[in-house]
A and B are shown apart, each in its own frame.
Chain A
């Protein structure tokens, strides 16, 4: 099993790589679609601004690779948001793998939503061994509304989607690589079960 971590200049790649190392999983960091075609599963991380991230993906041809890959792919944070059809952040189109539209939090709580939030999850294999009401770590100002593809949710004045799945595509809003032992378990589940 070898994991490819997509590097497009918008992610805390080191954290994801470290987390996979802790799990004893072989991984490569690459921005080259040909190299990424040669791994078993793909992690698509991301922090930063949606519009700039989309531009980076388009310039490197990675947008096409992500949309068409048949391999299990896990988008993290901005990576998940970019899998949608549109984002209010910069008013940019996403990759369109899912048809959700990313919205800005319009709430009177602190923003960014930063820290550990309780979640409620479904029976998805991604959350095997994770307690309902587990705490996971989030940092974001935009969110994905709950839709038919949602497999877990959280509440921060509004209920919002924190994990999605359709076919080989998976996405999580929280940072599994920063969410302690539960986060590592979720990454392990993606690698072993998804």
Chain B
């Protein structure tokens, strides 16, 4: 039996975790390596590290964070943020990352997905899709939600799969940060239409939301950030709750 996965996400800027972090037992809650280790020990199934730095110096710092995280944990992790070239992917994989997520660059040049899949294997190419609900219609946005695109997420997800993506990281920008629950219908429709796994993201606020997206939402994995960072929920209690409600989950 395959377990559903619970995946905390860390946003890293200039080598530090951003978004508020509230762990009493951490000496330095801004250190992504320490935080990654803490999540690993709590039972996270994978991690995602997003580099939200814009500068070149910041990017070099990020590579060092990836190296240190790889040394600290023994579970898979995905890195993303500003990836557009095979050389960047090679450097990140060499630093110890297992997968990379690409987003805006894939929308600009969909063949990038195939290039990366051929060079490094589909299993390490995660295509991140950011969607917003525009008066009932789902639309794909790029550049952290600042730009419109021609795609609807259902078509774009199918296209990404056919080009060689190994996994889809689907974020509802309409629910991200709200802690009001995942976009269930969007996630279910995309997950059902694909052969590759779908990670749901955006909106987790309580244990029930995880259960909902892994059942009704048909997601293979659920990603969350704020709800874990602020200490509102621990990974352990979420996984215990899912297990108690009949979800196949690694405890």
Contact = CB atoms under 8 A, between A and B. Distances in A.
B32 interface: no
Contact of A48 (B74, B95, B121, B250): B121
Contacts of B27: none
B5 interface: yes
A92 interface: no
B71 A112 contact: no
A155 B1 contact: yes
Interface of B: 1-5, 40, 45, 70-71, 74-76, 93-96, 98, 120-124, 166-167, 194-197, 220-221, 250
Interface string A1-29: 00000000000101100110110000000
B166 A135 contact: no
A113 to B, nearest CB: 7
Contacts, number: 87
Given A47-B121, A114-B167, A116-B250, A14 B96 contact: yes
B3 A47 contact: no
A111 interface: yes
Contacts of A116: 2-3, 5, 45, 250
Interface residues of A, number: 35
A117 B249 CA distance: 9
A137 interface: yes
Nearest to B77: A178
Nearest to B167: A114
A29 B91 CA distance: 17
Contacts of A112: 122-123, 166, 196-197
Among B40, B98, B166, the one with the most A-chain Cβ atoms within 10 Å of its Cβ is: B98
Contacts of B40: 180
Contacts of B250: 116, 135
A35 B74 CA distance: 28
A191 B59 CA distance: 37
B2 A113 contact: yes
A178 B76 contact: yes
B91 to A, nearest CB: 11
A7 to B, nearest CB: 11
Nearest to B76: A178
A49 B118 CA distance: 9
Given A110-B195, A111-B196, A184-B74, A15 B166 contact: no
A155 B2 CA distance: 8
A115 B96 contact: no
A118 B2 CA distance: 7
A142 B124 CA distance: 16
B70 A115 contact: no
A161 B233 CA distance: 37
A115 B74 contact: no
Contacts of B167: 114
Contacts of B75: 137, 178-180
A116 B3 CA distance: 5
A110 B194 CA distance: 8
15 contacts: A14-B93, A14-B95, A14-B96, A15-B70, A22-B71, A47-B124, A48-B120, A112-B122, A112-B196, A112-B197, A115-B3, A116-B5, A135-B3, A135-B250, A178-B98
Contacts of B45: 115-116
B5 A181 contact: no
A178 B166 contact: no
A132 to B, nearest CB: 14
Contacts of B94: 14
B121 A49 contact: yes
Nearest to B194: A110
B121 A115 contact: no
A117 B121 contact: no
Interface string A123-141: 0000000000001010111
Given A12-B93, A18-B96, A135-B250, A114 B74 contact: no
A157 B30 CA distance: 42
Contacts of B194: 110
